[in-house]
Amino acid sequence: MGTVTAPYRVCVVCTGNICRSPMGEIVLRRAFGDAGLGDVVEVDSAGTGGWHVGGPADPRTAAALRARGYDDAHVARQFAAEWFADKDLVLALDAGHVRALRALAPTPEAADTVRLLRSFDPAAGDDLDVADPYYGDDAGFELALDQVEAAVPGVVGAVRAELAARRNRAAG
């Protein structure tokens, strides 16, 4: 059977890359590792804006992650159009991020890599935005993390299926 030499790259994107997208990055990275895919799937995150570039995750994000046993190490970055060339899946945290990312995409194919994270959660229904906790209290951060965690199994399953399809195409 053929092998996939290039890693599958996922980027999780929110507004400032200090609340929701670090949650998505950290939870997904662990889930891919737990699924035995940590060596073939790379996960990072970014924001649509550059206000917090170089800074850590919001302290409330870090606290919510630590309370559930996750790492909280993070440095904020801003998504750039040229990143699309290296990303297989760009997971937006709300509809505004989808619009911003698709407008930034240099090609229709790049725009097609953008999906809402919660679209991978079959229980999400029509509410596909991860709630923005930034202006709220700790409960908002817990809700956002709940929503991220609920979508992660679907993301892992979809990526696993895509990797299998790539292996099948390579095998020929």
pLDDT exceeds cutoff 90 at 99: yes
Q: How many domains, in total, are found in the chain?
A: 1
pLDDT exceeds cutoff 50 at 4: no
Cα 81 off chain centre by: 16
Q: Exactly one of 11, 14, 44, 118 is catalytic; name it.
A: 14
* Domain CATH number, residue 97: 3.40.50.2300
Which residues are bridge partners to 44 per DSSP?
11
DSSP string of 126-154, one letter each residue: T--SPP--TTS-HHHHHHHHHHHHHHHHH
pLDDT at residue number 1: 35
Element (H, E) at 116: strand 114-116
Q: Going by C-beta distance under 8 Å and a sequence separation of 6 or more, which residues neighbour residue 9?
A: 41, 42, 43, 44, 86, 87, 88, 89
Whether 171 is in a domain gets the answer no
Q: Exactly one of 11, 19, 20, 118 is catalytic; name it.
A: 20
Whether 36 is in a domain gets the answer yes
Burial class (CB in 10 A: 0-12, 13-18, 19+), 71: exposed
pLDDT exceeds cutoff 90 at 85: yes
Active site annotation includes 132: yes
Whether 15 is in a domain gets the answer yes
What's the pTM? 0.95
Whether 110 is in a domain gets the answer yes
Whether 76 is in a domain gets the answer yes
Active site annotation includes 20: yes
Rounded CA-CA distance 43/117 in Å is: 13
Whether 162 is in a domain gets the answer yes
Is residue 26 within 8 A of residue 63, CB to CB? The reply is no
Is residue 117 within 8 A of residue 130, CB to CB? The reply is yes
Rounded CA-CA distance 38/53 in Å is: 26
Q: What is the greatest pairwise CA distance in the chain?
A: 53
Whether 3 is in a domain gets the answer no
Whether 98 is in a domain gets the answer yes
Rounded mean pLDDT, 35-45: 97
Q: Exactly one of 9, 30, 102, 132 is catalytic; name it.
A: 132
Tens digit of each residue's pLDDT (9 = 90 or more) over 129-157: 999 999 999 999 999 999 999 999 999 99
Instruction: Look at strands 114-116 and 8-14 and give their pairing.
Output: unpaired
CA dist list (Å): 113 to 11, 12, 89: 10, 12, 5
Active site annotation includes 112: no
pLDDT exceeds cutoff 90 at 3: no
Expressed as residue numbers, the domain containing 107 is 10-166
Instruction: Print burial letters for 136-162: b (CB count within 10 Å at least 16), e (below 16).
Output: eeeebbbebbebbbbbbebbbeebbee
